A and B are shown apart, each in its own frame.
Chain A
Amino acid sequence: MFAATLRGPAVDWFAISPILVLLGGALLLLVADALTPPWPKHSFALFTAATATAAGVLSVLQWQRVDEGGARTLIGDALVLDRPALWIAITICVAVLVCALITDDYLRREGIDGPELYALYLLAALGGVVMSAANDLIVLFLGLEILSIALYVMAASHRKRAESQEGGIKYFVLGGFSSAFFLYGIALIYGGAGSTNFGKIRVGLSPTLGSDRTNDALVLAGIALLLVGLAFKVAAVPFHFWTPDVYQGAPTPVTAFMASAGKAAAFGAMLRVLMEALPNWSDDYQPAVWGIAMLTLVVGSVMAVVQTNVKRMLAFSSVSHAGFILIGVEAAAHRPGAPMSGDGVSSVLMYLVIYAVLVIGTFAVVTAVGRTGDAATDLSGFRGLARNKPLLALAMTVLLLAQAGVPLTGGFIAKFGVISAAVDVHSYAIAITAMLSAVIAAFVYLRIMVSMWITDAEAGDDTRESVRVPALLWVTISSAVAFTLVVGMFPGWLVSLTP
Chain B
Amino acid sequence: MIEFPILTLLVVVPAVGALLVAVISKRHPDLVKVTALGASVLTGALALWVLFAFDKSDSGFQFASRHAWIKPWGISWHLGIDGISLFLVVLTGVLFPLVIVGIDPHRDHKRYLSWMLLLEAGVMGSFISLDLFLFFVFFEIVLVPMYFLIGGWGYEGRVYAATKFFLFTMVGSAFMLVGIVATAILAKADNGQVTFDLIKIAENAEFAAGTGRWLFFAFAIAFAVKVPLFPLHTWLPDAHTQAPTGGSVILAAVLLKMGTYGLLRFGVYLFPEAALWARPLFFTLATVGIIWGAIAATMQSDLKRVVAYSSVAHLGFIVLGTFALTTTAVTGGVMQNINHGLSTGALFILVGMIYERRHTREIAQLNGLQQVAPVFAAAFMVVMLSSIGVPGLNGFVGEFMVLVGSFATARWWVTIAAAGVILAALYLLWAYQRVFHGEPDEANSGFAELNWKEASLLLPMIGLIVFTGVYPKPMLDRIEPSVKAFIAHVEERSNYHEPAPAEPVLVELEGEG
Given contacts A407-B140, A407-B141, A428-B178, contact A423 B171 (CB under 8 A): no
Residue of A nearest to B72 (CB): A495
- The answer to whether B181 has its CB under 8 Å from any CB of chain A is yes
Given contacts A435-B174, A453-B148, A491-B70, contact A408 B141 (CB under 8 A): yes
Contact with A along B156-175 (1 / 0, CB 8 A): 00110001001100110111
Give the size of the chain B interface in residues (CB under 8 angstroms): 31
**Cα distance, A406 to B159, chains bound together (Å):** 19
**Cα distance, A450 to B177, chains bound together (Å):** 26
Q: Determine if B140 and A424 form an interchain contact, defined as CB atoms under 8 angstroms apart.
A: no
Q: Determine if A492 and B72 form an interchain contact, defined as CB atoms under 8 angstroms apart.
A: yes
**Cα distance, A401 to B147, chains bound together (Å):** 12
| A162: chain B residues within 8 A (beta carbon) | none
| B140: chain A residues within 8 A (beta carbon) | 406-407
Category for how many chain A residues contact B = 20 to 34
Contact with B along A399-430 (1 / 0, CB 8 A): 00100001110001000100110011000100
- The answer to whether A442 has its CB under 8 Å from any CB of chain B is yes
| A94: chain B residues within 8 A (beta carbon) | none
The 8 Å CB contact of A439, one of B144, B148, B171, is B171
Given contacts A407-B140, A416-B181, A436-B174, contact A496 B166 (CB under 8 A): no
| A241: chain B residues within 8 A (beta carbon) | none
Contact with A along B253-267 (1 / 0, CB 8 A): 000000000000000
Q: Determine if B141 and A428 form an interchain contact, defined as CB atoms under 8 angstroms apart.
A: no
Tell me, rounded to whole Å, the shortest Cβ–Cβ distance linking B186 to chain A. Answer: 9
**Cα distance, A424 to B163, chains bound together (Å):** 33
Contact with B along A99-128 (1 / 0, CB 8 A): 000000000000000000000000000000
| B175: chain A residues within 8 A (beta carbon) | 432, 435
Q: Determine if B151 and A450 form an interchain contact, defined as CB atoms under 8 angstroms apart.
A: yes
**Cα distance, A436 to B185, chains bound together (Å):** 21
Q: Determine if A401 and B73 form an interchain contact, defined as CB atoms under 8 angstroms apart.
A: no
Contact with B along A445-457 (1 / 0, CB 8 A): 0100010011100
- The answer to whether A431 has its CB under 8 Å from any CB of chain B is yes
Q: Determine if A443 and B73 form an interchain contact, defined as CB atoms under 8 angstroms apart.
A: no
Q: Determine if A435 and B141 form an interchain contact, defined as CB atoms under 8 angstroms apart.
A: no
Residue of A nearest to B133 (CB): A416
- The answer to whether A359 has its CB under 8 Å from any CB of chain B is no
Q: Determine if B163 and A431 form an interchain contact, defined as CB atoms under 8 angstroms apart.
A: no
- The answer to whether B69 has its CB under 8 Å from any CB of chain A is yes
**Cα distance, A398 to B10, chains bound together (Å):** 24
- The answer to whether A438 has its CB under 8 Å from any CB of chain B is yes
**Cα distance, A156 to B159, chains bound together (Å):** 38
Given contacts A420-B181, A428-B182, A495-B73, contact A453 B151 (CB under 8 A): yes
Given contacts A406-B140, A406-B144, A491-B70, contact A419 B177 (CB under 8 A): yes
The 8 Å CB contact of A408, one of B137, B147, B158, B167, is B137
Q: Determine if A438 and B174 form an interchain contact, defined as CB atoms under 8 angstroms apart.
A: yes
**Cα distance, A455 to B160, chains bound together (Å):** 12
| B163: chain A residues within 8 A (beta carbon) | 443, 446, 450
- The answer to whether B471 has its CB under 8 Å from any CB of chain A is no
Q: Determine if B166 and A442 form an interchain contact, defined as CB atoms under 8 angstroms apart.
A: yes
Tell me, rounded to whole Å, the shortest Cβ–Cβ distance linking A446 to chain B. Answer: 5
| A432: chain B residues within 8 A (beta carbon) | 174-175, 178
**Cα distance, A431 to B138, chains bound together (Å):** 21
| B147: chain A residues within 8 A (beta carbon) | 446
Contact with B along A473-499 (1 / 0, CB 8 A): 000000000000000000110011000
**Cα distance, A400 to B178, chains bound together (Å):** 22
Q: Determine if A496 and B72 form an interchain contact, defined as CB atoms under 8 angstroms apart.
A: yes
Q: Determine if B72 and A401 form an interchain contact, defined as CB atoms under 8 angstroms apart.
A: no
Q: Determine if A407 and B182 form an interchain contact, defined as CB atoms under 8 angstroms apart.
A: no
**Cα distance, A450 to B147, chains bound together (Å):** 10
- The answer to whether B63 has its CB under 8 Å from any CB of chain A is no
Q: Determine if A435 and B178 form an interchain contact, defined as CB atoms under 8 angstroms apart.
A: yes
Residue of A nearest to B71 (CB): A492
| A446: chain B residues within 8 A (beta carbon) | 147, 163, 166-167
A-contacting residues, B259-300, CB 8 Å:
none
B-contacting residues, A357-412, CB 8 Å:
401, 406-408, 412
| A407: chain B residues within 8 A (beta carbon) | 136-138, 140-141
Residue of A nearest to B26 (CB): A390
| A491: chain B residues within 8 A (beta carbon) | 70
Q: Determine if B72 and A431 form an interchain contact, defined as CB atoms under 8 angstroms apart.
A: no
| A428: chain B residues within 8 A (beta carbon) | 178, 182
Tell me, rounded to whole Å, the shortest Cβ–Cβ distance linking B18 to chain A. Answer: 13
Tell me, rounded to whole Å, the shortest Cβ–Cβ distance linking A333 to chain B. Answer: 18
Residue of B nearest to A450 (CB): B159
Given contacts A446-B163, A450-B163, A492-B72, contact A419 B178 (CB under 8 A): yes
CB<8 Å pairs between A and B, sample of 24: A406-B144, A407-B141, A416-B177, A419-B177, A420-B73, A420-B185, A423-B178, A423-B182, A431-B178, A431-B181, A435-B178, A438-B170, A439-B170, A439-B171, A442-B170, A443-B163, A446-B163, A446-B166, A453-B152, A454-B152, A454-B158, A491-B70, A492-B71, A495-B72
Which A residues fall within an 8 A CB radius of B? Answer: 401, 406-408, 412, 416, 419-420, 423-424, 428, 431-432, 435-436, 438-439, 442-443, 446, 450, 453-455, 491-492, 495-496
> Given A407-B136, A442-B167, 4 other A-B contacts at CB below 8 A?
A407-B138, A416-B177, A423-B185, A438-B170
